[in-house]
Structure 1
């Protein structure tokens, strides 16, 4: 690996204890000792990409997905064990046949059966899509080491611990509400100023929406940010049922937009499979294909943290602007005469720095 401090190429014996033998300085992550094969340089490179070269800020959850995406796609399930068992089975088999040793034949048969079982399980999907490091483990292991060595999170990464949904008591009445159960995305939106910029209230769950309804304009919508999974799809429907007459907008990630899309790398959490009751409700909706229902039942999901941060922020900014124009007569009139778009109208090139 390359030392992140002196940029020397280090052999394994030259970096004992995560200390470079050349510059004598410590580093946080060694690809040989963590399940995501992370190095400090890779974390810095991915962070730079996620933050759009420092233009925006991101959170640990978004960084976890970006660093895990490649390993999730690889979908490894004990390939070394299968290969080793197969090699050992063939070797002991020849030894038993030509050496006339019955015990070796039994051992070879056991190893070959083990290799066959691993390959069969792999073909049936066992282990597929399961991240080698969970979000919780990423925080305590990878980021824990990073904090120990550098004293702070990677540049551009803001913490998502606490209450990112908190709203100042003296905040003006909101134009709209965004429901976002994921603390990483809530902290991301708050850190990049979306609620203040557009007069939006950011809340965690449907229970907090009710308290804000009296302050909302009659046509003020409720936007729902959710994972593409069983709980996320049910959250959207539950809000629509509980808020009749109020616009409830699916702001993503919807299952129909990511299911089967190669670039949308989904993952599975064996501990978070939907319950039988949840699957019954999803089936009763009649909105999903049998293939999609099977996908959900197996615990697959595509998370909000998997969306490119800059793109997600740009989409929400545009949607919030549309909401504001539709609710404000003066702003709607200004948009009609072109005041809000001149001189950077669609097709005239990128918006200037700081114009977001």
Structure 2
């Protein structure tokens, strides 16, 4: 690996205890000791991309997805085990034939059967989509060592831990009723939007669940932001059923749209597979194809954390602007008479060309 400090190419023996033998400085991540193969330089390189060169800040979960993306595309069930058992089976079988030992031939057959089982499981997709390092593990196995070595999170990464105040205000001015509510169960994404100042900019109150929505002093529209998975699809429908006539806007992620994107990479959470009740409710709505229900039932998902951060900000800002403009009587009247729409492609100067 390359030392992140002196840029020397280090062999394994030249970097004992995460210390460069040339410059004697410690580094945080060694690709040989973590399941994502992370190094300090790789983290910095990927961060430069997802933060648009440092122009925006991202959360640990967004960084986790960006670093896991390639592995999620490649990861399959026991990729090396099938080959290992196949090789061992052939070697044992050849030796058994050479010395005419029946016991070795039986062992060879068993090894070849195991190899075939691994091959079949891999072809069937077993294990595919499970991240090599979970979201929670990323914080302890990658970010914690980084903090110990450098004294803080990587530059451009927000601290979204509970109780840590965001960088920008999330509340509307005192005495002002929120113009809308942003319901997002992903605390990491909510922290990302708050740090950008988006809720405060549009007078929107963030909420983590339905109880929080009901507790807010507003009857304004509810914008629902969710993962493209079984739980997210069900959330939108539960909110609409619970809030009656109150406007509910599904801001995405839209399942069918995201699934059609070649660059979108889904994953599966080992503990997040939907239960039978969830799938039965989704099926009862009659809005999903059998193939979509099967895909959702296996626990596949496209996370909000996987959406390019700059794109996510732009989409949510566009929805927030439209919703708050429609909710504001003054802005509705202004839009009706064309205020803030001039100049347009067909606009003419009443005084003629100048």
TM-score normalized with structure 1 length: 0.90
In the TM superposition, what is the alpha-carbon distance from 1:254 to its structure 2 partner?
A: 2.3
Three-state SS of the structure 2 residue aligned to 1:288 is coil
Aligned to 1:311: 311
Q: Which string of whole-angstrom CA distances, capped at 9 and with x for unpartnered residues, describes residues 239-296 of structure 1?
A: 0011121110111112222235332211112222111111110110000000000011
In structure 1, what is the Cα distance between the partners aligned to 2:90 and 2:262? 37
TM-score normalized with structure 2 length: 0.91
In the TM superposition, what is the alpha-carbon distance from 1:215 to its structure 2 partner?
A: 2.5
In structure 1, what is the Cα distance between the partners aligned to 2:321 and 2:74? 39
Are 1:87 and 2:72 an aligned pair? no
In the TM superposition, what is the alpha-carbon distance from 1:301 to its structure 2 partner?
A: 1.0
In structure 2, what is the Cα distance between the partners aligned to 1:278 and 1:329? 39
Three-state SS of the structure 1 residue aligned to 2:205 is strand
CA contact (8 A) 2:77 2:125 kept: no
In the TM superposition, what is the alpha-carbon distance from 1:300 to its structure 2 partner?
A: 0.9
1:199 to 1:86, Cα distance in 2 relative to 1, 3 A? same
1:268-307 mapped onto 2 (5 Å cutoff): 268-307=268-307
1:12-31 mapped onto 2 (5 Å cutoff): 12-31=12-31
CA contact (8 A) 1:259 1:292 kept: no
In structure 2, what is the Cα distance between the partners aligned to 1:339 and 1:248? 27
1:123-202 mapped onto 2 (5 Å cutoff): 123-163=123-163, 167=171, 170=174, 172-202=176-206
In the TM superposition, what is the alpha-carbon distance from 1:323 to its structure 2 partner?
A: 2.2
Q: Which string of whole-angstrom CA distances, capped at 9 and with x for unpartnered residues, describes residues 79-103 of structure 1?
A: 1111111111111111111222223
Gaps of 5+ in 2: 346-354
In structure 2, what is the Cα distance between the partners aligned to 1:188 and 1:230? 23
In structure 1, what is the Cα distance between the partners aligned to 2:308 and 2:262? 15
Three-state SS of the structure 2 residue aligned to 1:83 is helix
1:167 to 1:118, Cα distance in 2 relative to 1, 3 A? same
How much is the aligned-residue C-alpha RMSD, in angstroms?
Answer: 2.1
1:260 to 1:329, Cα distance in 2 relative to 1, 3 A? closer
In structure 2, what is the Cα distance between the partners aligned to 1:340 and 1:95? 84
In structure 1, what is the Cα distance between the partners aligned to 2:336 and 2:41? 48
Aligned residues: 341
In structure 1, what is the Cα distance between the partners aligned to 2:260 and 2:318? 27
